[in-house]
Amino acid sequence: MSYAPESIAYHQGEYKPLRDCNVNIMTHALQYGTMVFGGLRGYYDPDSDNVYLFRPDDHMRRLHRSAHIMQMVPPLSEAKMVEVALEITRRNNYRCNVYYRPFIYKDALQLSPRLHDVSDDFAMYSLVLDDYLDTSRGMRTVVSSWRRIDENIIPTRAKVSGGYANSALAKSEAVQHGFDEAIFLDSRGFVSEGSAENIFMVRDGSLITPPVAASVLEGITRRSIIELARLEGIPVVERDIARTELYIADELFFCGTGAQVAWIEEVDRRRIADGQIGPISRRLRDRFKQSVLGKDEQTRHWVRPVFESRVNA
């Protein structure tokens, strides 16, 4: 993932090179973290020579809901935002895996930590991206000394940029101590999620994940994994998970738009089971990989091909 100044982005109502997408240093969102954002993937399939957007309607719906929580008025409809992602892909003529960052932000030039009577704008850029985490091996994780922010502090079901200072503190702490990723506990002391991923545990054949009330993001990939598990006949339970329960899990994995499905080898220097990817994690990861390319019959409605002419050719 790298900055490509010549790539075409969308800003202030027009498509233009990313290098020309700039904001004033007085911008409200820059001062106070008053921005909501999404993360959307496009997967390239060489067999069809097409890029498939993964659940774009769901991503833009969540972005609109995040904006509503933060008293923002989205300048574009959900459908129009999806069209922007499609058009960015076409204008950049991508033949690769792509990450899209759509966001709505308070663009007024004023100093006042408030949400009302502050104007909003929408923008989107894209980056070439394969794996955010190295999914070829297991993740070495640590329970963070930082607690996950509570829903009543900064709404966790809204992807608010200011709230990600919490994630940055946990991520840097983990990496600087020799780990790959952090695991948050919530304010009650139960497992919440990773710094930018939801977490799943397998015990006795059931797939278990913390409830939304544990200050987790209502992840699109999280929902997809739950739906895939049910299609596979795997029991799914949403309940609180204690820290020590992670140590004795049969399997653990992260999921998210960036992480996709990344299995966890170790928590707090304790190996999980035999330290290898488990059978349920592997099944779900493999089926997810088929789903994002539109090759799974039961989940084909999740994806949107960018180049329609290639679908009908």
The Cα–Cα gap between 257 and 251 comes to 20
Output phi, psi for 175, to 5 deg: -65, -40
3-state secondary structure the chain: CCCCCCCEEEECCEEEEHHHCCCCCCEHHHHHCCEEECCEEEEEECCCCEEEEECHHHHHHHHHHHHHHCCCCCCCCHHHHHHHHHHHHHHHCCCCCEEEEEEEEECCECCCCCCCCCCEEEEEEEEECCCCCCCCCCEEEEECCCCCCCCCCCCCCCCEHHHHHHHHHHHHHHHHCCCCEEEEECCCCCEEEECCCEEEEEECCEEEECCHHHCCCCCHHHHHHHHHHHHCCCCEEECCCCHHHHHCCCEEEEEECCCEEEEEEEECCEECCCCCCCHHHHHHHHHHHHHCCCCCHHHHHHEEECCHHHHHC
Q: Are 67 and 160 in contact (CB under 8 A)?
A: no
Active site residues: 159
CA-wise closest residue to 99 among 138, 142, 53: 53
